[in-house]
Amino acid sequence: MGTSDGSVIGITKVVDHGDPALRWNLVILGDGYQAAQLTQFRNDVQNFVDVMYQTPPYDELWCGINIYRIDVTSTDSGADDPAACGGTGATARTYFDASFCNNNIRRLLEVNTTTVHNVVNAQLPQASMIMVIVNSAVYGGSGGSVATFSLAPSAQEIGLHEMGHTAFGFADEYEYYAGCGVDPPGTHDNYTGSEPGQPNITKDSGRTTIKWHDLVLAATPMPTTSNSNCAQCDPQANPQLPSTIGAYEGAGYYHCGLYRPQFTCRMRALGNPYCAVCQRVIRETIGPHMQSWTWGTATIAAGQTQRWWLWWPTYPGFEVIGVQAMTPGEELDFGVPGFQRNADGSGTMTITISNPTAATVAFHFRGTQL
Amino acid sequence: MADQNTARSRGRPGPVHRLTFDYEGDRISLVSDQIVNMISPPGQPLEESETSAGFSVIVRDAADRALYRRTESSPIRSDAEVFSDEPSTPLHRVPVQEPRGTFVMLVPHVEGAVSVELVGPPSGRPDRFRESLRLARFPLNPPQDLS
């Protein structure tokens, strides 16, 4: 089975924001789709695109993203589902050799990554991230250099989680390896290594030194949670608001000694939003791919006003700046934006933001050209 | 009132090495070095990441100075993430019996760059943050033809 069991039909840009040299390019391929099923594949891709479009912060970065679909046919439909893992025993001759039961685990669905990279390198060498949708209703997926997931309900969450690893370098934020109560005693109790390079976990819970210290409010205890029994996963409920950013003990496969920024995150358990730290890294990565992009995080002290200006080199149009208060319950006042066309054809926009509240308000902002 | 200029330098495309690697266990080979015109992924401050644990890709000059470094999840799969649909066994990891596969790294062609180095934990080490070693080093092609 392999490349003799199908063919590459071609590449189609399904989300088009311009030159791939400028944009962050997601490439989605399919495996186990027969020629007559390519319309279904197109719908499956669109379904993932729709999910991604509604997933913060991709929604606000959308103008920096291109998405491509590569149509690939296979001789057979589906994927191998070996009976040894409790599967149906089906075998399918597919272009990328999709199979469940890798490592004798049924849900571990993998494809031949060498073949995938060969196809993508030839079709779109500017690819930033690669996914493969496997035409099977059995739940499964895998990560690594190619995120792979099936058509089972909620399997798209696998794609979003693995994109966190592959495209943005996120660590897993769960505090076990094989499972809570499953890991051999003592193997995942206390982390004693050096500082992890990933942006979303840390061994440093210091208020002023933690990687994401600028996002921690003064009232937040640090560490925010501590595991009282490092021999097991921390069973305590979140003592803070879900949005509170701090240092929650238990991350990176260790019960103690490593901290995560928020109590929940998509990198800790599927179905959650990305935490604020992960979202910031995604913005930092995709932000430079937005036209005339400008973005960042800032604070305004109580009773103060800030005036911001943004400049575009040309003026085919612009999208209104999105400014979103990050502190629950606080509201900012926005003045009427001003715009002027400059003599060189560029445009300058001004926006005035006031903070009428009694506390400092943090917010993030973006601006882009359509 | 404070005026602040929020306009930042625009992301500009440039020559980027699209490096495709094959690996089997700890043996890594560079199978292609495509020069592509695109915006490269952002790197990390060199001084901050030199002592970090985890997997990094480093671009070096002839004097062995790091010019670009990015830390990320290891693309060399010594273990695999399992996505169970059983609530009692959520996301978890299992060791991979025979680590092998292909991965791609995007690094900018920085002035003076001569090599790319992969640094990370050896395969088969679940304590992935404890020890990072040089896994492989390869010369970089000079950018000539942009695809």
pLDDT per position as a tens digit, B57-109: 999 999 999 999 988 888 888 889 988 877 666 789 999 888 899 999 999 99
Calpha distance A207→B129 (Å, rounded):
23
Per-residue pLDDT at A273: 96
Show which of residues 221-250 on chain A sit within 8 Å of chain B, judged by CB atoms: none
Q: Do B72 and A288 touch (CB under 8 A)?
A: no
Q: Does the pLDDT of residue A240 top 60, yes or no? A: yes
Per-residue pLDDT at A168: 93
Per-residue pLDDT at A289: 84
Show which of residues 350-369 on chain A sit within 8 Å of chain B, judged by CB atoms: 365, 367
Q: How far is A27 from chain B (nearest CA, A)?
A: 14
For B135-147, what is the mean pLDDT?
78
Q: Which two tokens stand for residue B83?
A: 């996505």
Using the Cβ of B145 and the Cβ atoms of chain A, whether some distance falls under 8 Å is answered with: no
With beta carbons under 8 A apart, name residues in chain B contacting A21: 13, 37-39
Per-residue three-class SS string for chain A:
CCHHHEEEEEEEEEECCCCCCCCEEEEEEEECCCHHHHHHHHHHHHHHHHHHHCCCCCCCCHHHEEEEEEEEEECCCCCEECHHHCCCCECCCCCCCCECCHHHCCCECECCHHHHHHHHHHHCCCCCEEEEEECCCCCCEECCCCEEECCCCCCHHHHHHHHHHHHHCCCCCCCCCCCCCCCCCCCCCECCCCCECCCCCECCCCCCCCCCHHHCCCCCCCCCECCCCCCCCCCCCCCCCCCCCCCEEEECCEEEEEEECCCCCCCCCCCCCCCHHHHHHHHHHHHHHCCCCEEEEEEECCCCEEEEEEEECCCCCCEEEEEEECCCCCCCEECCCEEEECCCCCEEEEEEEECCCCCCEEEEEEEECC
Placement of tokens 């404890």 in the chain: B130
- Among chain B residues, the shortest Cα distance to A139 is held by B85
Element (H, E) at B49: helix B46-49
Calpha distance A290→A142 (Å, rounded):
29
Residue A363: CB atoms within 10 Å:
19
Per-residue pLDDT at B89: 66
Calpha distance A57→A285 (Å, rounded):
11
Of B2, B6, B89, the CB nearest to A310: B6
Among A216-230, A243-257, B132-146, the minimum mean pLDDT is found in B132-146
Q: Which residue has the higher pLDDT, A346 or A256?
A: A256
Residue type present at position A243: S
Q: Which two tokens stand for residue B55?
A: 């997997």
Q: Do B103 and A192 touch (CB under 8 A)?
A: no
Show which of residues 254-273 on chain A sit within 8 Å of chain B, judged by CB atoms: 269-270
Using the Cβ of B50 and the Cβ atoms of chain A, whether some distance falls under 8 Å is answered with: no
pLDDT for A194-233, tens place per residue?
889 899 999 999 999 999 998 999 999 999 999 999 999 9
Q: Does the pLDDT of residue B2 top 60, yes or no? A: no
Of B37, B101, B104, the CB nearest to A21: B37
Phi and psi, residue A73, nearest 5°: -95, 155
With beta carbons under 8 A apart, name residues in chain B contacting A298: 4
- Among chain B residues, the shortest Cα distance to A145 is held by B103
Q: How far is A101 from chain B (nearest CA, A)?
A: 11
Task: Report the percent of chain A where pLDDT is more than 70.
Answer: 86
Q: Does the pLDDT of residue A81 top 50, yes or no? A: yes
